[in-house]
Each structure stands twice: as C-alpha cells, then as structure tokens.
Amino acid sequence: MGRWAWLRAIVDRSESARTMGLDVRRDEHGGMTLRDTESNWRDFTGQMDREVSHEVDFRGPNELPFNRPSGMPAEQADWNLWWLDMIERCRKYRENPERHVAYVVRARRAAGLPELIRPDEEPS
C-alpha cells in the first residue's frame, strides 16, 4: 500500500461518507461536496464565528498579525477578499450553499463589520 493510499481511498469513494471529520458525498461531476448535516453545520458556524472575531480584533486599534485571514501572509491580509473567496467556496463545495452564505453575512453584520465589496464594484 502506497504512501497516499489513504487519500486515494477517500477520493475513490462514490457513496456518502464521513471523512476526516466531515460528511461528504460525490456530486454529479464526481467531485466532493460537503453535505448539509448537523455536524458539518456546527463545524462551519464555529469556524465562521472564530473568523469574524479575528476580523473584529484585526480592525481594532492594534492590527494583530495573528488575527489576519487564515492562509494569507501579513502583507496580503485582506478580509474582504478572504470572505469573498469563502463565499465562492461555499457555493462550489457545499450542499445548500445559500444557507452558509446567509450565515456569513448575518454574522459579519451582527459584529458591525463592513459590507463586502467585490473588487470590480465601486463602494457606495
């Protein structure tokens, strides 16, 4: 059995399964989709709440480097772009994506964060 056999076993599954702590299924094109289950929802909302609190701290009087968007280097830290990418990933990889997008928008608004602006749009 090769070094990456565990990953191949996950990718080759055709049925719904719980993999690496997430409930997944194959979409009509053979790609992986995160199912809209209670467990996945709990994980998603917990992660989004943490990211919102990091953005709130980042926008405070001290732009703490450890509160920058996940996966972005300090010099490229841009919460607006990070959230737009997160929303795009929700639409691409999740069942019931608009439920997830609505949660992100509500959580950010409740925290008093600015509305998201697409790079090709002018702020109003």
The domain segmentation of the chain, as residue ranges, is 37-110
- Overall average pLDDT of the 77-104 stretch: 95
The conformation of residue 43, written as its DSSP 8-state character, comes to H
Residue with tokens 């909302």: 45
Q: Report the helix count and the strand count for the chain, using DSSP H and E.
A: 4, 3
Look at residue 67 in the predicted model and tell me its pLDDT.
74
Look at residue 15 in the predicted model and tell me its pLDDT.
60
Give the integer Cα–Cα distance in Å for 1 and 54: 42
Give the integer Cα–Cα distance in Å for 49 and 108: 9
pLDDT tens digit sequence for 94-105: 999 999 999 999
Give the integer Cα–Cα distance in Å for 65 and 54: 10
